Structure 1
Amino acid sequence: MTLPVRSRLAALALVPAVVALCVGLAAPSLAQTAAAPPMVRYDIGYDIFYPVRAQNGMVAAEHRLATEVGVDILKRGGNAVDAAVAVGFALAVVLPNAGNVGGGGFMVVHDAKTGEDVAIDFREMAPAKASRDMYLDEQGKVVANRSLYTHLAVGVPGTVAGLAHALATHGTMTLADVLAPAIKLAREGYDVTPQLAGLLEVERDHLAAWGATRAIFFKDERPLRAGEKLVQSDLANSLELIAKDGPKAFYEGSIAEKIAAEMAKRGGLITAEDLKNYKVVDREPVSGTYRGYTVKSMPPPSSGGTHIVQILNILERYPLKEQGLGSAQNIHLMAEAMKFAYADRAEYLGDPDFTKVPVKGLTSRRYADELAAKIDPDKATPANSIKPGKPQPYESDQTTHFSVADAQGNVVSTTYTLNLNFGSGIVAEGTGILLNNEMDDFSAKPGVPNAFGLIGGEANSVQPFKRPLSSMSPTIVLKDGKPWLVTGSPGGSRIITTILETIIDHIDFGLNPAEATAVPRVHHQWTPDELRVEKGLSPDTVRLLEQKGHKVAVKPTMGRTQTIQLRADGLYGASDPRNPDGQALGY
């Protein structure tokens, strides 16, 4: 790391509480750090925030209880996939706003034994009765909230099938073994954290609309408060059935019957047949290179991996390190590259089983050359003058993420979601399972923004059995063919840029996982035409960006990365301090 980087980070002047959260429980105390001789940490160079360090295994997740579950699985001899599946089910209990069995997601696995990388797609699917205009009124206008907070918002869930598939194909333990900790947490309960209590209060009206939901998350007609115990007996029963009978319990057994009954009772479309027909898909990860490193990320129906590689291809030609971390020039170039990528996302990205997605063209270096030629180093390009490019000639909130690495070199990067906080807010009566509102990720009407302000086109229109487009971007970076970085984040449309910046922070600026979480993030998604930034940028930097023509808007935090770096001397992990409940832990 260069001295300018250290100076830039030091200028953030983060408070001690944030630093403590950033480095995790395994890091030295602030008092110990302050008292240590300057050279005692020479092995980490100029690092000023310390990640958690371990030798045998590491888990980074958005709730400490789930992290502890994963580490315990590793200690018991499980591999990274065993631990990841256990974490996934545990988060369904302890992080109900995003962790789930009623949603779906993506997983990227590096198998150390074979050297292979696989992308597991367990994204939700539209039910058989879904139709292109199902969210429009008689005048052809989008009906507010129909794709968000009604039974029509729910896609056929994929999480149970996906996690079970990953375990069966890459794990070593039984489903009953990895589910046992989640069942215990649901049955015995746990104390509600201030973070969860705050989310329950914010979503009070959303959740109170449904009796089965109120019965779980409310007490005395108000949301549970911090310190009160959240017990989920129905969810424990459902998890026990899955442990006993496998995914069939969810897709064909009594759980499926209850979900189908919930849908039929309130005008939803999902039937028992839809659940029975759900399929997990193994896909080849999107692959690219950046300054000698290999990037493996999720392919369509995720847009994440494609556009991360596309933007990195554009940026690799610029001397980002010399420009300086957080410099106006650095941010300007990133923002311009982001605009072009998000314009292409709106036009071309969708479910590859239903539409031709020009991934090879979008990730082509020749196409990156064409886009880079349109970037003015001194002036922002207005969004309304940017149109989707032509990559074909080059053809030849809420979500959660967790990362896992084991001693054998297996790594897992997983992002899964209910979509918005608590999804649709609907619990299928008798199951304890919150259901997603992923149907909003389709284009309800081409050209009309979704909940994240993203514009979609015909490629992402609603069709039966189709998977909606996503920004989820579980990512692995390889160095000399071996895992070097495992990362991912929630954040809706901001996931792509969060992961992009995490990769750049590590490769160009030499930051460790803890330091990379502390850097203020930026985001541009083409439309709306604003450069969104977190607080912490220098006023001088903001002024320079505005002089270049950017409309800078300081807005709330972006992303909550869960990152593990694999070095020769061990594993280094950090859970993003933007979520105080998260934790990285190793052994």
Structure 2
Amino acid sequence: MRQCSLPGIAAAALLAVPAVAPAQSPPPAQPKAAVEAPRGMVVSASAIASDVGRNVLAAGGNAVDAAIATGFALAVTYPTAGNIGGGGFMVIRFPDGRATTIDFREKAPAASSPTMFTDSTGNYSSRIHHNSHKSVGVPGTVAGFALAHQKYGKAKWNGLVGPSATLADTGFIVPTGLAASLAGVRTKLSTDSGSLAAYYKAGQPYSAGDRLVLGDLGKTLGRIRDQGRDGFYKGTTAQLIAAEMRRGGGLITEADLVAYQAAERAAVRGTFNGYDIISMPPPSSGGVAMIEMLNILEGMDLKAMGHNSPQYVHSLVESMRRAFRDRALYLGDPDFTQPPIAKLTSKTYAKELRATIDPNKASPSSPADVAQGYESDETTHYSVVDKDGMAVSVTYTLEAGYGLGAVVDGAGFLLNNEMGDFNGKPGLTDSTGLIGTTPNIAQPGKRMLSSMTPTIVARDGKLVAVVGSPGGRTIINTVLEVVLNLTAFDMPVQDAVNAPRLHHQWLPNTVTVERVGFSEATLDALRAKGHVVRVGGQQGTAHSIAIDPKTGKRLGAADPRDRDAGASGH
């Protein structure tokens, strides 16, 4: 059973800005109902990749196995964010209610330093920070998948990687979203000879319906299939990565690759109106910030306000404002800092914050408090549930769309530019969006702060939903809103995913709303409360799964904002 989402703006075509990108086309048609399946379900940004994961489930693999297979397939079919050259996070909930997480966020190379993004004069350089080989972090995806498989997988490793190696070797039919995406980023990718050779034919974009063959990527995936994590972090692939770094002036060495380790971390947990919220802890800020916001909102009668009414939006924005301020002040890699997670996720602290909210007036946001730095929109999320009720929520990324835009010569995969998620320079905080607070300054071996928010919702010991989204800092708020739609408003999962979204991140002090779904009267009422409102394009792509409480069926909701997405069940 599969459903591809209907035409809309491809995620890769959105501008990589901290808020919502301007709309470039009419809004997509919205599916009215989720795809149903009795046993297992995979929902991702690529219908092809969802099928790969679904086939693993049908063959007896568990949700972790299917998540690994789907992730490798996305590295082939969704190159804007699917990756083996990047990193991310995995949240796992077992059928008995236990939960854990796998942190495979990229790390800073050993030669990194707090001032590495400055030029020869000591001034901050955005180019070095985001668009040079120094912006490449040590990739974590392969190590993360290997750790997850070692601890919790069931199927054989080669059967999870093999389908993607074959997919790259023999090629796949280019879907409409990928064709539009590659056409849209031709200028960026054409500056790198490897990217131009891999993703264009005679320098021109592939059309929908063409066959795209990625031979070098297939060879790299073959080494991972046959050698496990060593097929990436040692030997031929590692040598090719190190050579690419030397060629481009990057910092990653073969020693950095060998030293990389993914980490298993305790999930961050909260509650909201009787629901259990399970999400990712630091170095992701998403789980902590979302639980902080849910705690603030739990003390309000949201349903009585009405979904997306002026008072509801005002309440959301004021909770977002406070959580994003705390995000910037306190959160970073827990191996280097000590974020006060217990305080930030406590009901007592939320009560204190709630008391500072004026129901009739917007709060100020001052650069003197803290500013937010850049974080790209180009990430991808996928959700998996198996026949036993094991659930996996994965969000991973290359940072910008197509990462650095550089393919490792001979290895066929795109490099991340994830070091751009570190703060630019110690002490450099201003109203333009730069931030220089200590917790997220670059250091050797440190993981950069993220907004990724892979989340699982349960109630009374039973699985309710698997949620997540791409979107830079909008991720946290997108996931928050889908969770609220499910738990506070009892929406069917497809309606919860389709519903219009909004975003506020402390600074810039702007409420951004999706173009479709908010009336002028609502926007005027928000302005009357003192909010600065901007109408933008689409926000996030929350590929989600819910469990029908009566039948136990898996309900897969592909987000129609992602035109190549699909839900695939069995």
Question: Which structure has the greater CA radius of gyration?
Answer: 1
Query: How far apart, in 1, do the equivalents of 2:365 and 2:169 lie?
Result: 51
Matched letter for residue 564 of structure 1: I
> Which residue is equivalent to 2:211?
229
Which shows bigger deviation, 134-143 or 415-424?
134-143
Matched letter for residue 50 of structure 2: T
Matched letter for residue 208 of structure 1: S
> Which residue is equivalent to 1:103?
86
Query: How far apart, in 1, do the equivalents of 2:406 and 2:26 lie?
Result: 39
- Aligned CA distance change for structure 1 residues 163 and 63 (closer, same or farther; 3 Å): same
How far the C-alpha of 1:205 sits from its partner, in A, is 2.1
Query: How far apart, in 2, do the equivalents of 1:460 and 1:480 lie?
Result: 37
> Which residue is equivalent to 2:14?
none
- Contact conserved, 1:347 with 1:456, CA < 8 A, in 2? no
How far the C-alpha of 1:201 sits from its partner, in A, is 2.3
> Which residue is equivalent to 2:545?
564
Matched letter for residue 190 of structure 2: A
How far the C-alpha of 1:129 sits from its partner, in A, is 0.1
> Which residue is equivalent to 1:77?
60
- Contact conserved, 2:424 with 2:435, CA < 8 A, in 1? no
Matched ranges for 1:541-560 at <5 A? 541-560=522-541
- Aligned CA distance change for structure 1 residues 448 and 61 (closer, same or farther; 3 Å): farther
- Contact conserved, 2:176 with 2:563, CA < 8 A, in 1? no
**Residue segments in structure 1 that go unaligned for 5+ positions in a row:** 1-14, 24-48, 389-396
Matched letter for residue 391 of structure 2: V
Query: How far apart, in 2, do the equivalents of 1:122 and 1:513 lie?
Result: 28
- Contact conserved, 1:92 with 1:98, CA < 8 A, in 2? yes
> Which residue is equivalent to 1:414?
394
Matched letter for residue 572 of structure 1: L
Q: Which has the higher contact order (CA 8 A, sep 6+)?
A: 2
Query: How far apart, in 2, do the equivalents of 1:319 and 1:446 lie?
Result: 42
Matched ranges for 1:289-368 at <5 A? 289-368=271-350
- Contact conserved, 1:98 with 1:398, CA < 8 A, in 2? yes
How far the C-alpha of 1:250 sits from its partner, in A, is 0.6
> Which residue is equivalent to 1:137?
119
- Contact conserved, 2:429 with 2:437, CA < 8 A, in 1? no
Matched letter for residue 108 of structure 2: A
Question: Alignment partner of 1:145: what SS?
Answer: helix
> Which residue is equivalent to 1:476?
456
> Which residue is equivalent to 2:499?
519
> Which residue is equivalent to 1:458?
438
Matched letter for residue 476 of structure 2: I
How far the C-alpha of 1:252 sits from its partner, in A, is 1.3
- Contact conserved, 1:101 with 1:433, CA < 8 A, in 2? yes
Query: How far apart, in 1, do the equivalents of 2:69 and 2:328 lie?
Result: 35
- Contact conserved, 2:114 with 2:426, CA < 8 A, in 1? no
Matched letter for residue 498 of structure 1: T
Q: How many correspondences in the alignment?
A: 536
Which shows bigger deviation, 260-269 or 119-128?
260-269
Matched letter for residue 487 of structure 1: V
How far the C-alpha of 1:482 sits from its partner, in A, is 2.2
How far the C-alpha of 1:454 sits from its partner, in A, is 6.9
- Contact conserved, 1:301 with 1:468, CA < 8 A, in 2? yes
Confirm whether residue 250 of structure 1 aligns to residue 232 of structure 2: yes
Question: Alignment partner of 2:534: what SS?
Answer: strand
Normalised by the length of structure 2, the TM-score is 0.91
- Contact conserved, 1:398 with 1:492, CA < 8 A, in 2? yes
Matched ranges for 1:85-484 at <5 A? 85-112=68-95, 114-384=96-366, 387=369, 397-446=377-426, 453=433, 455=435, 457-484=437-464
Query: How far apart, in 2, do the equivalents of 1:380 and 1:428 lie?
Result: 48
- Aligned CA distance change for structure 1 residues 327 and 421 (closer, same or farther; 3 Å): same
C-alpha distance after superposition, 1:114-153 (max 9, x if no partner): 5320010000000000111111124443213212221111
Matched letter for residue 46 of structure 2: H
C-alpha distance after superposition, 1:399-456 (max 9, x if no partner): 1111000110100000000011000011111000111000000001256589x95745
How far the C-alpha of 1:200 sits from its partner, in A, is 1.7
CA RMSD of aligned residues (A): 1.8
Query: How far apart, in 2, do the equivalents of 1:77 and 1:454 lie?
Result: 48
Which shows bigger deviation, 163-172 or 276-285?
163-172
C-alpha distance after superposition, 1:204-244 (max 9, x if no partner): 22211111111101222233233322110000001111111
C-alpha distance after superposition, 1:305-343 (max 9, x if no partner): 000000000000000011111100000000011001111
Question: Alignment partner of 1:573: what SS?
Answer: strand
C-alpha distance after superposition, 1:71-112 (max 9, x if no partner): 111111111111110000000000001000000000000122
User: Percent identity over the alignment?
Assistant: 46
